[in-house]
Amino acid sequence: MSDTTFAPVTSPAPIPVSQILPWAIFGGLLMLIAIYFVGTEEGAMALFNGMYVHEFVHDARHLLGFPCH
């Protein structure tokens, strides 16, 4: 016969909100910056001269549904 050993059932410890909140804010800011560069970095709202940023994110603009031409 075989011996069966059962491991004790443990539940994962919850992560406190105070540890998640700074990372959530940081991730949200990164997403806002990404949306700005993909969505509005051209024309009157441009932070950089030329079309370099626009051309770099051109395919992402079409993928996300932003009109550009």
Task: Please state, as a whole number, how many other Cβ atoms lie within 10 Å of the Cβ of residue 37.
Answer: 18
Q: Where are the domains of the chain?
A: 18-64
Whole-model pTM: value is 0.61
Distance CA 39, CA 44 (A): 13
Distance CA 64, CA 40 (A): 12
Q: How much is the average pLDDT of 21-37?
A: 92
Among 19-23, 25-29, 51-55, 65-69, top mean pLDDT goes to 25-29
Q: How much is the average pLDDT of 27-48?
A: 81
